[in-house]
Amino acid sequence: MQIAATDSLFDTRKKQITGLCYAAIGCFAVDYVSLFLGISMFFPVVMGLNILAHFVGTILVVLFYTDNWNYDSFAAFFAIFNVLPMILELFILVFVTRFSFLKY
């Protein structure tokens, strides 16, 4: 009886982790496109925060896999190290396209 509950919990968590991984790839795609658009390249503080967030996030995800951390830690890593840099990139994109005074 306990094994069936564990299997269903495992399947649920596996689906949630898979969804978070796909969402993280989507966030990375937004960061990647904005990097090659050259918009955030001229904001060194933003670039420094992105580099730091992705570096620390990579190290923590490696530790997550090697040390078998809890599922909830991966969800927190996703929110802090993927969603926040993507939101920052989108704010920079909106700032440059809508509020910039340097129009050509």
pLDDT of residue 20: 92
pLDDT digits (tens, 9 = 90+) for 72-84: 888 999 999 999 9
- Distance in angstroms (rounded) separating the CA atoms of residues 72 and 61: 12
- Is residue 21 included in any domain, yes or no? yes
Write 16-23 long-range contacts (CB < 8 A, 24+): 16/71, 16/75, 17/71, 17/74, 20/74, 20/75, 20/78, 23/78, 23/82
Q: Does a structural domain hold residue 103?
A: no
- The pTM of this model reads 0.78
Give the domain extent around 47: 2-98
User: Is residue 86 one of the residues assigned to a domain?
Assistant: yes
Q: In total, how many domains does the chain have?
A: 1
Asked whether 16 and 22 are in contact (CB, 8 A), the reply is no
In this structure, is residue 104 part of a structural domain? no
Sign of CA dihedral 97, 44, 51, 79: negative
Position 39 in a domain:
yes
Q: Is residue 80 part of a domain?
A: yes
Number of other residues whose CB lies within 10 A of the CB of residue 17: 14
Write down the pLDDT at residue 1: 46
What is the structure's pLDDT at 19?
94
Residues 16-58: pLDDT tens digits?
999 999 999 999 899 888 888 887 888 889 889 989 998 999 9
